[in-house]
Amino acid sequence: MKPILIIKTGSTFPEISKHRGDFEDWIVAGMGLERVQFNIFDVSKDLPLPEYNEISGVVITGSHAMVTEHYDWSKRTAKWLAGAVEKSIPLLGICYGHQLLAYAMGGEAANNPNGLEFGTAYIHLNEAAKEDSLFSILPSKVAFQVSHTQSVIKLPPTAKVLASNSMDPHHAFIMGDCAWGIQFHPEFDADIVKRYVEILRENLRVKGLNPDELIQNCFDTPYGEKFLKRFAEIIIAQ
């Protein structure tokens, strides 16, 4: 199998990576494959992304950057993602990756008008998700970890919504047959999201959230790992 490309758009906080690793480590572990099966590509290093025929699938990580900041590396990556969608390469955009995929295909990301979403949240799958090759393994109401300020406020013209909740009507969408954007974090566990809340405690409080309540309501869920392993299966089956 050709390598699975992990497009690294940022890193977690040093106080988290010191003990738990970084975004790409959590994605690799969640997908249940060996590290040698992945190509970890840091797009901030100003190098050309791999040729499409050199990879079997793509995961775009989250980031502490914002899509609306329009960094050069982000705009270059967006153009590359549009080509990957056109070539029907299995692709999964997580959080920042979800928003960047939407932007690349004609949608829009911005501050979530409903506010910040942190902690463990329930997400509701719609009827389209029940027939989707990736989402059909999940129950109609499922808990995932969330940590984001911005979201997709306008979908690309041909995107199809798969999941939503009261905070975000576009928690997940699909483009074509195999390019998914997800606002939630299947690679996070409860410990990671609790660490995020602790680090951002004062900022969250200023924004009207209760950090202690968020931490108290965090819990582990088996669905993140199941979701990532299912995405790995889709790639391998291509």
Burial class (CB in 10 A: 0-12, 13-18, 19+), 16: middle
pLDDT above 70: percentage of residues in the chain: 100
Q: Report the largest interatomic distance among the alpha carbons of the chain, rounded to a whole angstrom.
A: 48
- According to the model, what pLDDT value does residue 65 have? 97
The mean pLDDT of 138-152, rounded to a whole number, is 97
Q: What is the pLDDT of residues 52-103, one digit of tens each?
A: 999 999 999 999 999 999 999 999 999 999 999 999 999 999 999 999 999 9
- Rounded to whole angstroms, how far apart are CA atoms 195 and 211? 11
171 a catalytic residue: no
> What is the four-CA torsion angle of 57, 61, 66, 71, rounded to 10 degrees?
-60
CB 128 within 8 A of CB 161: yes
pLDDT above 90: percentage of residues in the chain: 98
Reading phi first (left if > 0) and then psi (alpha if -120 to 50, else beta), residue 95 is in left
- Rounded to whole angstroms, how far apart are CA atoms 45 and 184? 26
Catalytic residue among 148, 170, 171, 185: 185
Residue 27, token pair as written in the block = 């994605």
Catalytic residue among 24, 178, 187, 218: 187
- According to the model, what pLDDT value does residue 46 have? 82
98 a catalytic residue: no
Domains and CATH numbers, the chain: 4-237 (3.40.50.880)
- Rounded to whole angstroms, how far apart are CA atoms 25 and 17? 10
187 a catalytic residue: yes
Question: pTM of the full predicted structure?
Answer: 0.97
The mean pLDDT of 117-136, rounded to a whole number, is 98
Catalytic residue among 95, 148, 171, 178: 95
CA dist 230 to 66, 129, 223, 225, Å?
A: 28, 14, 10, 8
- According to the model, what pLDDT value does residue 16 have? 98
Q: What is the pLDDT of residues 159-201, one digit of tens each?
A: 999 999 999 999 999 999 999 999 999 999 999 999 999 999 9
